[in-house]
Amino acid sequence: MQTSDISEVPTTPAGPRFVLRRQPRWSRRVPWLRHGSQALVVAWVGFALWGSAGGGEGRGSIEAFCPFGGFETAFTWFATGRTVSHVHSSNLVLAAVVVALALASRGFFCGWLCPLGSIQETLRAAGDRISRRLPALRRVRKAMMLRFPWIPTADRVLARGRYVVLAWAIVGAGLTGTMVFRAYDPWAALISVVEFEISTAMVVLALVLVLSLFLDRPFCRYACPLGAVQGLVAKISPIAIQRNGDDCLGCTICNDACPMRIPVNTRSRVTDSACIGCLECVASCPSEGALGLRVTLPLRPAPPLEPTNMNMETLR
Per domain, the residue ranges of the chain are 31-233, 238-314
Task: Tell me what the pLDDT averaged over the chain comes to.
Answer: 80
Contacts of 106 (CB under 8 A, 6+ apart): 230, 234, 237, 239, 240, 275, 276, 277
Maximum average pLDDT range among 84-98, 107-121, 193-207: 107-121
| 16/181: higher pLDDT | 181
Contact 72, 170 (CB under 8 A): yes
| Res. 9: pLDDT tops 50 | no
Whether residue 154 is predicted with pLDDT greater than 50 in this model: the reply is: yes
Rounded to the nearest angstrom, the gap between the alpha carbon of residue 80 and the centroid of all alpha carbons in its chain is 34
pLDDT at position 161 over 90:
yes
Residue 299 carries which side chain, given as an amino acid letter? L
This prediction has a pTM of 0.81
pLDDT at residue 235 tops 80: yes
* Phi, psi for 70 (deg, rounded to 5): -65, -35
Residue 34 CA: distances (Å) to CA of 28, 135, 264, 279: 10, 31, 20, 9
9-13, 259-263, 272-276: range with lowest mean pLDDT: 9-13
Question: What is the predicted pLDDT for the residue at 173?
Answer: 87
Q: Does the pLDDT of residue 11 top 80, yes or no?
A: no
Does the pLDDT of residue 314 top 50, yes or no? Answer: no
Q: How far apart are CA 298 and CA 237, in angstroms?
A: 6
The residue among 308, 247, 304, 253 whose CA lies nearest residue 282 is 253
- Mean pLDDT, range 98-103, rounded to an integer: 92
Phi, psi dihedral angles at 212 (to 5 degrees): -65, -20
> In angstroms, rounded to a whole number, what is the distance separating the alpha carbons of residues 64 and 58?
10
| pLDDT band (50, 70, 90) for residue 303 | low
Nearest in space to 162 (alpha carbons), one of 68, 65, 235, 98:
68
Average pLDDT over residues 39-51: 85
Residue 44 has pLDDT above 80, yes or no: yes
The alpha carbon dihedral of 222, 266, 231, 33 has a sign of positive
Residue 255: pLDDT band with limits 50, 70, 90? very high
